[in-house]
Amino acid sequence: MTRTILCYGDSNTHGTKPMPDLDGAGRFGHEARWPSVMASALGPEFDVIAEGHPGRTTVHDDPMEGDFRNGVRILPALLESHKPLDLVIVKLGTNDLKNCFHVSAADIAFCLDRLVRMIRASGAGPDGQAPDVFVIAPPPILETGCLAEMFAGGAVKSLGLATAIKAMATRLKAGFFDAGQVVAVSSVDGIHYEAEAQSALGLAMAEALRDHLT
């Protein structure tokens, strides 16, 4: 029986390339994005849905880019439209590090806590049950390139993300993976991943899910 996985994330789940300037650099092809790499490695018994949106936050309305990037606003509709879902992977938190939000690593973990609880209460799993939830902590960011000012102060805070998110996931008994163990952000813009990192994350997540789902 095919199991369905929803990957709920931001620009790095979308496949946004590192940006040399604010006009952007495009998007990696479908097969090069980490959810697709993961899907290929997992095999045909899994249906992987990639739902990545550049700029998506956990629970914050972006005052400049629009409140539709608020992850908690759109999540209920996506859970309903894609159900039944066996597993929801949440990979958010990087955009919360923008200077305009003024939140700490601990704050971001509490925001993710809210999303995990929302997923479990959704009834979007098989037979109206709760989907399984797996949280990925993003790797630390760099303050460099065209996005440096936007993320001013975020690099230091990002160093505490994995620890804070792991504690949250452990408390809620959700799956957890620290992406910083296998990938690093690009030196071009300090936020996005190069193609090699997209591939590495997809392969690592396939292995992590094999352990999680057995």
Burial per residue of 16-35, b for 16 or more beta-carbon CB atoms within 10 angstroms, e otherwise = bbbbeeeeeeeebeeebbbb
Residue type at position 92: L
The model's pLDDT over 37-84, given as tens digits with 9 standing for 90+, comes to 999 999 999 999 999 999 999 999 988 888 899 999 999 999 999 999
Average pLDDT over residues 180-190: 98
Domain that holds residue 82: 3-212
The percent of residues above 70 in pLDDT, for the chain, comes to 100
Q: pLDDT tens digits, residue range 142-163? A: 999 999 999 999 999 999 999 9
The tokens describing 106, both together, are 């601990």
Could you tell me the pLDDT band of residue 213, with boundaries at 50, 70 and 90? Answer: confident
Give the integer Cα–Cα distance in Å for 190 and 96: 15
Q: Residue 29 is part of a domain; what is its CATH number?
A: 3.40.50.1110
**Quick count: other Cβ atoms within 10 Å of Cβ 99?**
12
Element (H, E) at 119: helix 105-121
Are the C-beta atoms of residues 52 and 14 closer than 8 Å to each other? yes
Q: For the residues 111-117, what does the mean pLDDT come to?
A: 98
Interior CA angle at 38 toward 203 and 33, to 5°? 95
**Domains: count for the chain:** 1
Q: Please give the pLDDT value at position 114.
A: 98
Backbone phi, psi, residue 97, to 5°:
-80, -5
pLDDT at 133 exceeding the cut of 90: yes
Structure-block tokens of residue 125: 């799993």
Query: Any idea what DSSP says for residue 56?
Result: -
How far apart CA 69 and CA 85 sit, in angstroms, is 22
Of 78, 76, 24, 31, nearest to 54 by C-alpha is 24
